[in-house]
Chain A
């Protein structure tokens, strides 16, 4: 039961297209791939994939040194996305520091790059004498949430959900629940991750990373496509400022959308393999939380990472609930899998699709895999007014999450 209505009033994006929601939407609507070949990956033994989508065009030095010294790239992305979300929402310094604004922001792990550098040095002589004072703050699990809170002066609650690819979606969902319960008035929510070859290797190791398009990177990943061959790892941060409806009305700020419902669950059947029933259950619970029927959903932004099993299972779960008519797309084809950031970044993009009345298709989807269920797969940008959408995120570790977002309407 929802106690207080929760709305979105600010969005911030640092994606493989660069900084800013406008930059993100330009890339997505133009059908431009952000995936590139990285020849350096060839130096890593056993790694077959050579493609990734990395963030460029930002200036970390915009963040003062004393805030930045404890940040790895993921916290830098998260801070910039947070600043942009706060700016759009018109949040004042008093509101930031007053204790009624909290943060719910996570990543898959702490900085692997920093961890690698620390141990590379340690293993030379088993000495930790050269360990700088800020290393821990880059590798701790709540590095993004803490660094953003420190840099921006947030003094409310701090959560750092960590559920791999479900992180961004969960972070928003948990923030929504805190506000609905009246524990906070505003929450800065989302996910962030930075690319490291180990992330790509995690997928490559289980034959779930894309390896067949190393020389034609813009052709991969290919969600739902017959020729798909796996995930392309990416990086970035997506952050939304959400608040109680009362708070937004009192502040007189534009409301971008309302969070209708949220669900997350553990699927104990497998730590690695997706399951149709668990995905279906998650979406149904989110609809129930939103008090909406399946026929009231206008668009589904799929998790679909272009893995063999994941896409088939998700398409089946969507088909069981929504049938063949509701438009479905995955943004992984454009910018790869931004991991912990994917749920929140793709939710922001979907929200923009709703406000612009233009749905972004799945890039690289040329021939739907016959093993995937029949759905209304978007192949071209489609001019359609939508009032509701579902954002899915399904993660390693058996963690599923779905959020229902709807256009805000006064009662």
Chain B
């Protein structure tokens, strides 16, 4: 999966789950302030990403630092590379 494919899958998964405007899916979009997600949504976001990418990320420390879509893109890309290396 290329980096762009990963970004596309993240965007489409979150747009569907949280009924977001596709035009708002930019790397600098803050998931709380710009996309309007809250603490319950972030629980579901992890489940949605785990389902889309078939990995387990719930216990990862880095998740707590996520603020923007760009953070998610970087995190998922890193995680995918990590899995590939294994």
A61, A69, A129, A130: the one contacting B40 at CB < 8 Å is A69
Instruction: Report the number of A-B residue pairs with Cβ-Cβ less than 8 Å.
Output: 23
Q: In the assembled complex, which residues on chain A have CB atoms less than 8 Å from the CB atom of B51?
A: 130
Contact status B43-A133, CB under 8 Å: yes
Interface size range of chain B in the complex = 10 to 19
| B26-74, CB < 8 A from A | 36, 38, 40-41, 43-44, 47, 50-51, 56, 58
User: How far in angstroms is the closest Cβ of chain A from B42?
Assistant: 9
Find the A residue at minimum CB distance from B19: A65
What 0/1 pattern do residues 121 to 137 of A give for CB contact below 8 A with B? 00000000111111000
Contact status A65-B18, CB under 8 Å: yes
| A57-87, CB < 8 A from B | 61, 65-66, 69
Contact status B18-A132, CB under 8 Å: no
Contact status A130-B47, CB under 8 Å: yes
Q: In the assembled complex, which residues on chain A have CB atoms less than 8 Å from the CB atom of B18?
A: 65
Contact status B50-A129, CB under 8 Å: yes
Q: In the assembled complex, which residues on chain A have CB atoms less than 8 Å from the CB atom of B36?
A: 66
User: How far in angstroms is the closest Cβ of chain B from A257?
Assistant: 40
The A contact surface, by secondary structure, is: loop
Contact status A133-B19, CB under 8 Å: no
Q: In the assembled complex, which residues on chain A have CB atoms less than 8 Å from the CB atom of B56?
A: 129
User: How far in angstroms is the closest Cβ of chain A from B47?
Assistant: 6
Find the B residue at minimum CB distance from A130: B47
Q: In the assembled complex, which residues on chain A have CB atoms less than 8 Å from the CB atom of B38?
A: 66
Contact status A132-B19, CB under 8 Å: no
CA–CA, A322 and B66, complex, Å: 69
CA–CA, A61 and B19, complex, Å: 10
CA–CA, A133 and B58, complex, Å: 13
A-B contact pairs, 15 of them (CB 8 A): A65-B19, A66-B36, A69-B40, A129-B47, A129-B50, A129-B56, A129-B58, A130-B47, A131-B47, A132-B44, A132-B47, A133-B41, A133-B43, A134-B40, A134-B44
Instruction: Show the binding face of B for A, using Cβ within 8 Å.
Output: 18-19, 36, 38, 40-41, 43-44, 47, 50-51, 56, 58
The 5 closest A-B pairs by CB, nearest first: A133-B43, A133-B40, A65-B19, A132-B44, A133-B44
